[in-house]
Structure 1
Amino acid sequence: MSEFIEIDSLLKVVVAGLIIGAGLPALFALGVRLAAGRTTPAAVDAEGVHMTPSGEVVTVARPSTVRIIAAGVCFLVVVLAIAGGIVFLANGGH
C-alpha cells in the first residue's frame, strides 16, 4: 500500500494546506489586532468614553503609526495571496 503513496507530494500538500489554511487567517487576525486601538479604563464622566459589553468604561487610544503600517503589510500579504491563488486557478491551476 505504501508503494502507491508519494510521500513528497503528500508533504507538499500538507505544508501548503497549513500555510494557506491556517497561516493566512492567522496573519489576517494579527493585522486586525495590530490595527485595533488600545483600551484603558476611564472614569464614567471622562470625555470620549465607551462602554464595553462587560460593562467596563474605557477610552480607546488610536494605534501608533508603526502598528498601522504593520497591519497594512499583513493585509497586503493576505490580499496578494488571494489574488495569486485566483490567477493560478484562472491559468489552469498547473
Structure 2
Amino acid sequence: MTAWIDLDALWKIVVIGLLCGAGLPAVFAVGLRVLSRSERRAEAVAMASVPGLDGAMTGAAPASATRTRAETALAGLCFAVILAAIAWGVAFIVAGG
C-alpha cells in the first residue's frame, strides 16, 4: 500500500464493479436468450409446416415449439439472481452502507 493508493480497497472496487457492471447484464442476457429459444423454435415449426416453402415437405414431424421445463427453470434462475442483486443493493443503500 502506498500513501496515495489503497490497493486493498482498489481491488475490491474493481471486482465488485466487474461483477455488477458486466456480470449482472450478462446473466440477464442469458435469461432472455433461453426464453427466446422457444420463439425461434416456433418460427422454425411454422416455416416447416408450409408446403412449398424452402423446398418440399419432409415426412418428419416438426420439432416441439413449447418451452421446456429446463429452459423455464434456467431463465427463472437468471432473473431471480438479478432480482436478488437489486434487493441487496436497495437494502445496502437503505441501511446506510
Same fold (TM over 0.5): yes
Query: What residue ranges of structure 2 are gaps of 5+ in the alignment?
Result: 52-62
SS at structure 1 position matched to 2:21 = helix
Letter paired with 1:30? V
SS at structure 2 position matched to 1:3 = coil
- Single out whichever of 64-73 and 36-45 deviates more from structure 2: 36-45
Equivalents in 2 of 1:43, 1:61: separation in Å?
A: 12
Tell me the alpha carbon deviations over residues 38-75 of structure 1, each in whole angstroms, 9 at most, x when there is no partner: 332615737xxxxxxxxxxxx98222110110100000
Percent identity, aligned pairs only, is 41
Q: What does residue 13 of structure 1 align with? A: 13
Higher RCO, 1 vs 2 (CA within 8 Å, ≥6 residues apart): 2
1:77 to 73, 78, 81: 81
Equivalents in 1 of 2:48, 2:35: separation in Å?
A: 25
Q: Which has the higher helix share?
A: 2
Between Structure 1 and Structure 2, how many residues are aligned? 80
Q: What does residue 60 of structure 2 align with? A: none
Query: What residue ranges of structure 1 are gaps of 5+ in the alignment?
Result: 47-58
RMSD over aligned Cα, in angstroms?
Answer: 2.2
